[in-house]
Amino acid sequence: MSVAEPRLVEVRRNVLKQNDLIARELRESYRQAGMTVVSLVSSPGSGKTAFLEKTLTLLQPRYRVAALVGDLATENDAGRLARSRAPVKQIVTGTVCHLDASMVRNALEGWLPAPLDFLFIENVGNLVCPSSYDLGEDLRLVLLSVTEGEDKPLKYPTIFNTADVAVITKTDLAEAVEFDAPLCERNIQSVRPGMRVLHLSAKKGSGMDSWLDLLASLRAGKAAGRSGE
């Protein structure tokens, strides 16, 4: 065989292996700490921060909660979330359009003073890039506001396919923008059959009950999983 002859060697290596390994470590560390981790993805301006601020405020009487917030440049979101009086840390990503597992790991290192029940991770506003990166979370939400249009799921099927639950936000504006909720729901079911969909308004508080119920059952399920091992 000639030395210069090219040959094909099979390597079968996952490109995001490094991220997936860190995500696995994170998942294990969340489990050991008894912490339920929920991440949020959406386009910019869909109401992630308002939704999270409301969620943190409503959970605090009963649960220990904190949030990590990814953003390109400013720390405004962390400032808004701090009004809930929950511990909040900003991850400024610079020009990076998504959070990856190592950014989450670095942000958590030496940060959380006490054990938590819930940790929320708000991803950078982007419906494309975050879909590729596992953060070790237990539940991934994709948010969609009524002002964005009913066809968003059809335009970004991949993010809907990597999320667990869809949340339609700003429903208090639905009438003003003539939002067609059944159509939006059909589009979500079209790209992700069987996906659970919540409709809510963080501003008015409507629909937040079923969201809090979902969190409580997620937590109960996780606790049951732990004791069952």
Shortest distance, position 147 Cβ to other proteins, whole Å: 21
Which residue, among 137, 95, 86, has the nearest Cα to 114 in the 3D structure?
86
Closest CB to other proteins among 97 and 173? Answer: 97
Closest CB to other proteins among 97 and 216? Answer: 97
Pair 36, 117: CB distance under 8 Å: yes
Shortest distance, position 161 Cβ to other proteins, whole Å: 6
For β-strands 196-199 and 118-122, DSSP reports them as: unpaired
Closest CB to other proteins among 16 and 181? Answer: 16
Closest CB to other proteins among 82 and 96? Answer: 96
Closest CB to other proteins among 9 and 73? Answer: 9
Ordered strands of the 36-41 beta sheet = 88-92, 65-71, 118-122, 36-41, 139-145, 165-169, 196-199
Shortest distance, position 90 Cβ to other proteins, whole Å: 20
Summarize as ranges the residues that interact with other proteins (CB under 8 A). Answer: 3-18, 96-98, 128-129, 131-132, 154, 157-159, 161-162, 189-195
SS3 32: helix
229 vs 132: CA distance, rounded Å? 30
Shortest distance, position 130 Cβ to other proteins, whole Å: 8
169 vs 146: CA distance, rounded Å? 6
Q: At what angle do helices 208-227 and 48-59 cross, to 10 degrees?
A: 60
Q: How many CB atoms lie within 10 A of CB 5?
A: 6
Shortest distance, position 46 Cβ to other proteins, whole Å: 18
